[in-house]
Amino acid sequence: MVMKKKLIIGISLLTFFLSCKSEKKDDSSLALLALLAASSSSSSTCTSSFGTVVPDWIKNSFTCVTVSVSGNNYVFKTSSIPTYKSVYWGSSSSLYESSLYTNTTGTNSANPNRIISQNVTITVPKDNTTSGAPATGFGAIGVATNGIVIYNDQAAPGDSLSTEYYTFDTAQGHPTNTGAYHYHVEPPKITNNDSNLVGIALDGYLIFGKKHDSTANSTSGFSLGGASSSTACLVAGKTTEVPTTWSQASNYNSLKTTGSARHYHVNNGSEVNGILLSGKYIGTAGTSI
């Protein structure tokens, strides 16, 4: 009887996932079957681990990640599981909340998906100095300081971020139909119109809040998903100097060479326009799997 019950539950879960519509990374039945075995348990704590040669600016800034050094790259591994309350944990979870993000226009409504532990590996160059502005893609293109993966300003084909925006939870995040929880826009759990470190992009350049110290970045008003849009720092004289308000600025700068301290800011727009990363990186990107 126990085995039959497990089989019935598994079939029901598979049917649920197949019926969900959101950003899609892999719709194959094998991928969805694998998800049935994945952990979706919630917890307000997480584990962080850092290799012996990982610099202090990473150790003192990131949580809920495993970080190591491989050659000329940093390797971040994360399950992209939030440790805070979300509607996407489901009502049976101790971290469930019914609230969603409050917008100045429109009303949020949750998508049908639930958070599921992922196995994301992001490899970024340690000392990138390139600035060729290659295009970003779908899926993880960075990781936030709390271990949540970062997506660009585009939704999966058939949707638009301006529509998906209204499915964000109170932390401005949501999961895909494979349970991959992520951010597109300014996450209030980390930054709110300030110069806080938000995370690191796939090209190895850091992402800060809307301000460089006390000066707002000037990237605003471009179209979501625009191929030529950029969230690179445009503050005069500061494009290769990280905000001095960041507690690890000295540790970071002591390891950097000319050009390797280029960085991003959250786009200086409101709500859905306060994107984290746009249609282009600053420089040559690493890999994410």
Question: pLDDT confidence of 6, banded at 50, 70, 90?
Answer: very low
Tell me which of 25-29, 57-61, 209-213 is least confident.
Answer: 25-29
Half-sphere exposure of 113 (CA within 13 A, CB side): 26
Do residues 54 and 62 lie in contact, with contact meaning Cβ atoms separated by under 8 Å? no
Do residues 72 and 126 lie in contact, with contact meaning Cβ atoms separated by under 8 Å? yes
Euclidean distance between CA atoms 175 and 164, whole angstroms: 11
Euclidean distance between CA atoms 263 and 200, whole angstroms: 9
Q: Checking phi first, is residue 238 left (phi over 0); if not, alpha (psi -120 to 50) or beta?
A: alpha
Question: pLDDT confidence of 9, banded at 50, 70, 90?
Answer: very low
pLDDT in the model for residue 36: 38
Query: Which pair of tokens denotes residue 226?
Result: 């625009």
Euclidean distance between CA atoms 236 and 216, whole angstroms: 11
Mean pLDDT of the chain: 85
Residue type, 52: T
Do residues 165 and 271 lie in contact, with contact meaning Cβ atoms separated by under 8 Å? yes
Give the residue-averaged pLDDT of 158-170. Answer: 91
pLDDT in the model for residue 182: 97
Give the contacts of 45 (CB within 8 A, at least 6 positions apart): 83
Give the contacts of 130 (CB within 8 A, at least 6 positions apart): 203, 282, 283, 284
Instruction: Read off the pTM.
Output: 0.85
